[in-house]
């Protein structure tokens, strides 16, 4: 009985640590986003033209509702600029990927996991770390492409890199989802991991679509 009580205590402490770490990750990412996406203090309401621009652009995405919901906050910064729209979408994607990556990393340190669950968590953690890396380098690369819209060859090079890296990040996220699709795994752990990774995959898919829209407008 004592060992059983200790087991449940360790699980409780593990989840408590997960929640605290995720909260810290979200706070950090929000601060990072604010540096780039800071809205003008003089603006008190969203620009309706910009909001409509986001809605029209999001219609071509796989998850249009989520696209609008995640990007409308930045309407005043995005305005009618395809590059800013893609940049905002990538920032949202990176934030979601970091949250998922942090959560899965904590899962790997939980007590009482089955060997199959532990291995899946470790493998998924590695792939999500790569997803974060691919998205992290996509953002400055997109910035480089925006500076070269009058130089076709160099623009194509940079924007192709962005598309390739976002695609790699999306592949990582889908691979992680597959790792946690085994019916023999603990339902709560599997569902909690898949929910966070799927949230990241949805906005990553949208970001890729919006980058393609930006590229098509320039070419």
| Choice between 109 and 39, residue whose per-residue pLDDT is larger | 109
Domains of the chain with CATH codes: 2-34+48-218 (1.20.140.40)
Distance CA 207, CA 201 (A): 10
pLDDT exceeds cutoff 70 at 35: no
Q: What is the mean pLDDT of residues 31-47?
A: 46
DSSP string, 12-50: HHHHHHHHHHHHHHHHHHHHHHHHHHPPPTT--S--HHH
Half-sphere exposure of 59 (CA within 13 A, CB side): 6
90-133: pLDDT as tens digits: 999 999 999 999 999 999 999 888 898 999 999 999 999 999 99
| Choice between 178 and 154, residue whose per-residue pLDDT is larger | 178
Distance CA 163, CA 112 (A): 40
pLDDT exceeds cutoff 60 at 40: no
* Burial readout 118-149 (b: 16 or more C-beta within 10 A, e: otherwise): eebbebbbbbbbbbbbbbeebbebbeebbebe
Give Cβ neighbours of residue 22 (< 8 Å, ≥ 6 apart).
Answer: 99, 102, 103, 106
């Amino acid at each position: 009985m004592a060992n059983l009580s200790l087991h449940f205590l360790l699980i409780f402490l593990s989840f408590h640590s997960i929640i605290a770490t995720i909260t810290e990750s979200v706070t950090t990412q929000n601060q990072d986003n604010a540096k780039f996406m800071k809205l003008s203090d003089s603006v008190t309401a969203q620009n309706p033209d910009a909001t409509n621009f986001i809605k029209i652009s999001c219609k071509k995405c796989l998850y249009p509702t989520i696209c609008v919901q995640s990007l409308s906050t930045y309407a005043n910064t995005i305005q009618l600029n395809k590059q800013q729209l893609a940049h905002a979408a990538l920032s949202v994607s990176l934030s979601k990927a970091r949250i998922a990556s942090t959560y899965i990393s904590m899962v790997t340190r939980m007590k009482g996991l089955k060997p199959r669950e532990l291995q899946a968590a470790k493998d998924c953690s590695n792939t999500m770390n790569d997803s974060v890396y691919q998205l992290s380098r996509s953002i400055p690369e997109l910035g480089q492409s925006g500076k070269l819209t009058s130089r076709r060859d160099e623009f194509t090079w940079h924007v192709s890199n962005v598309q390739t890296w976002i695609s790699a990040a999306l592949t990582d996220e889908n691979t992680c989802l597959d790792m946690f699709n085994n019916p023999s795994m603990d339902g709560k752990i599997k569902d909690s991991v898949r929910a966070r990774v799927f949230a990241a995959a949805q906005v990553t898919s949208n970001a890729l679509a919006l980058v393609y829209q930006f590229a098509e407008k320039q070419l």
